[in-house]
């Protein structure tokens, strides 16, 4: 059958949206995930601040951290005891999958999942086979929980008088802030090093010795995270 182009109707906006929805649903049925609805984009004023890091490192990091801490993100923390892989959605809900070192050989074994609500205190986890909650949780945002671990904010060490700080831009363009922890406490390292990628979407946090041996490594990616669904749960009775 030959169609007459002059009588073919142009699709309306509603029709186009319906087609997109049908394609997305079909992709899910076929096992494909549709592209994310939103992506994290660095605001122009933050990007401009990062470009001035060489001459104004404190101002650059202040602007970047102030923005980054509010974004959805994923991060992986690796230490001598195991590994944690976490995601924080736009509402501030966190899901972390914990892994212990494999006692039988190399690699890791799952130690379960932990959810932390946006109030930064309610946590949900499995206990004796059931999902329970209590209010003994803690802030899991890697940009705002620094004071949980160190006597200074390693992203903005200038805020604490007396902390020796040095900055540089490495060969790959990453912005580097190194702080000396003069009196390390328990579970603290002698040096903290944070790095921010030139595009402002990636960061690293290392805890290491003065000779450069890394004790804890954390890698962070600012990215779209689908809303995290917290399992149905009941209060934990201790």
Determine contact, residues 169/54, Cβ cutoff 8 Å: yes
- Helices and strands counted in the chain (H then E): 3, 12
* Residue 226 or 19, more confident: 226
The pLDDT, as a whole number, for residue 233 is: 96
DSSP state of 236: -
Rounded distance between C-alpha atoms, residue 57 and residue 186, angstroms: 29
pLDDT band at 124 (very low <50, low <70, confident <90, very high): very high
Determine contact, residues 111/99, Cβ cutoff 8 Å: yes
Q: Identify any residues that bridge with 18 across adjacent strands, giving them in sequence order.
A: none
Closest to 236 in 3D by CA, of 137, 140, 124: 124
- Picking from 1-10, 66-75, 98-107, 133-142, which range would have the lowest pLDDT averaged per residue? 1-10
Each residue's pLDDT tens digit, 53-62 = 999 999 999 9
Taking the domains of the chain in order of start, what are their residue ranges? 44-222
Mean pLDDT of 178-198: 95
| 16: pLDDT strictly greater than 90 | no
Q: CATH code for 44-222?
A: 2.50.20
* pTM, rounded to two decimals: 0.81
């Amino acid at each position: 059958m030959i169609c007459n182009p002059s009588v073919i109707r142009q699709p309306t906006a509603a029709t186009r949206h319906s087609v997109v929805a049908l394609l997305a649903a079909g992709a899910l049925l076929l096992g494909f995930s549709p592209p994310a609805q939103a992506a994290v984009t660095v605001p122009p004023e933050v990007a401009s601040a990062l470009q001035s890091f060489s001459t104004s490192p404190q101002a650059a990091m202040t602007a970047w951290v102030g923005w980054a801490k509010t974004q959805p993100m994923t991060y992986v923390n690796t230490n001598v005891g195991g590994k944690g892989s976490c995601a924080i959605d736009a509402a501030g809900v966190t899901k972390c999958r914990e892994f212990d070192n494999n006692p039988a050989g190399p690699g890791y074994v799952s130690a379960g999942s932990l959810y932390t609500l946006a109030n930064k205190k309610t946590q949900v986890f499995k206990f004796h086979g059931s999902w329970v909650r209590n209010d003994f949780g803690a802030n899991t945002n890697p940009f705002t929980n620094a004071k949980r671990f160190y006597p200074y904010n390693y992203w903005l060490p200038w805020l604490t008088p007396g902390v020796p700080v040095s900055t540089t831009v490495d060969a790959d363009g990453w912005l580097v802030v190194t702080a000396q922890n003069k009196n390390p406490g328990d579970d603290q390292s002698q040096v903290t090093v944070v790095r921010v990628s030139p595009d402002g979407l990636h960061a690293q946090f290392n805890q290491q010795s003065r000779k450069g041996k890394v004790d804890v490594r954390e890698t962070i990616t600012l990215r779209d995270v689908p809303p995290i669904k917290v399992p149905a749960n009941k209060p934990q009775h201790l």
